[in-house]
Copies of this chain bind each other. A is one copy, B any other.
Amino acid sequence: MSSGLVVSRRNRRTPYTDCVEALGVSGYSIVNHTLLPKSFERTVEEDYWHLKEHLQLWDVGCQRQVELRGPDAARLAQWMTPRDLRTMQAGQCYYAPLTDEHAGLVNDPVLIKRASDWFWFSIADSDVLLWAKGLALGMDLDVHVSEPDVWPLAVQGPRAEDLVASVFGNEIRSIRYFEFRQCAFAGRNLVVARSGYSKQGGFEIYLDDSTLGSALWDTLWQAGVDMQIAPGSPNLIERIEGGLLSYGNEMTRQNNPLEINLDRFCHLAGEVDYIGRTALEVIARQGPSRRMRGVLVDGPPCPPCAKPWPVTVGETQVGQITSAIWSPLFKKNVALSLIQKNHWDPGTQVTVHLPQGDQMNSTIVKLPFDPPR
């Protein structure tokens, strides 16, 4: 947290960057070559409580869209994901892991079906655009693959529905989880989905005209002043406790969907074909050799996890921590870890090795973390 980020155009601004700068953004991450605001005036812990109790506006424009449009759009979308898309309807959002030919994870986007021949992948941090374009070109498909001028803005927290209803009307209250409706704003019809990267409820608004960024931000902000609205971002404490995984942290191309517990999103032994199916079915038959688990790490508060920390039982390494932070709820550190078979049962006692050499007594738990009694 001690280093600066050097400015260049290559790390792209979003339509909301002017707004978050005006609100005193103090730290960024980079996702998809785009700025993701990660901190403002408050600490991560203060943001955690605020997110769970009130209302936050998140600039998640870095969740860039990869648009597939044309006669072969549905075919390409299905070819890219192990998830069975046959019954997916326009208006639905599907969490849809993407696999390569070895069943390694390329990304874990939300797939948005705009129409039968029109899809958006709302992506995590890898160039799915190049992956989809390469496949389409190599297979000579009749589909236009592009990055449209679309920039999600997230409203998260218990008051999110009230805020979004006050701006877009009460009909948004009937939008179900992972579904979207189109709502009028400044002459546009915006996709408004009940979704977001927290467990506190909320919406993501897919602005499709970057010149309207400040107008959308300011409209939501003004409507939220009486609801204690604050700028925010995906919160590390909240997402670990909620078992939300992060591409690049908990999973890379070295991981398959089954070992990170995405079994229910993987169509196996059926009629649907997709990249990596053969490899994934082999893994499924043998059973994964490791699984994503929660870990409760005894205090004091641990440093940020910038490289994987070994997890051991006795002299044997049985896993590695990929994300960790102090939880004010548990009064321990909460962490995410891939743990090997025979050691992944909840309750297993393990040792976590911090970078400076400290060895912390720790316990395997299921995901998401159960609240402490």
The residues of A with any CB-CB pair to B shorter than 8 Å are 1-11, 13, 25-30, 33, 38-39, 100-101, 106, 125-128, 130-140, 246-249, 275, 304-308, 322-323
| Residues on B with beta carbons closer than 8 Å to the beta carbon of A247 | 10
- In the complex with contacts A28-B3, A135-B137, A10-B126 CB distance below 8 A: no
Closest residue of chain B to A100 (Cβ to Cβ) is B133
The answer to whether A30 touches B11, judged by C-beta atoms less than 8 angstroms apart, is: yes
| Residues on B with beta carbons closer than 8 Å to the beta carbon of A134 | 130-138
In the complex, the count of this chain's copies comes to 2
**Neighbour of A7 across the interface among B11, B127, B131, B306, CB < 8 A:** B306
| Residues on B with beta carbons closer than 8 Å to the beta carbon of A106 | 130
The answer to whether A323 touches B8, judged by C-beta atoms less than 8 angstroms apart, is: yes
Q: Is the interface of A mostly helix, strand, loop or mixed?
A: loop
The answer to whether A6 touches B38, judged by C-beta atoms less than 8 angstroms apart, is: yes
The answer to whether B135 touches A7, judged by C-beta atoms less than 8 angstroms apart, is: no
The answer to whether A10 touches B249, judged by C-beta atoms less than 8 angstroms apart, is: yes
| Residues on B with beta carbons closer than 8 Å to the beta carbon of A307 | 9, 13
What's the Cα separation between A8 and B337 when bound, in Å?
A: 14
**Neighbour of A130 across the interface among B25, B38, B101, B126, CB < 8 A:** B126
What's the Cα separation between A11 and B128 when bound, in Å?
A: 17
- In the complex with contacts A131-B131, A138-B139, A3-B26 CB distance below 8 A: yes
Closest residue of chain B to A37 (Cβ to Cβ) is B3
Closest residue of chain B to A275 (Cβ to Cβ) is B137
The answer to whether A6 touches B33, judged by C-beta atoms less than 8 angstroms apart, is: no
| Residues on B with beta carbons closer than 8 Å to the beta carbon of A38 | 6
Q: How far is the CB of A108 from chain B (nearest CB, A)?
A: 12
Q: How far is the CB of A226 from chain B (nearest CB, A)?
A: 30
The 4 A-B residue pairs whose C-beta atoms are closest, nearest first, are: A138-B138, A134-B134, A10-B248, A127-B127
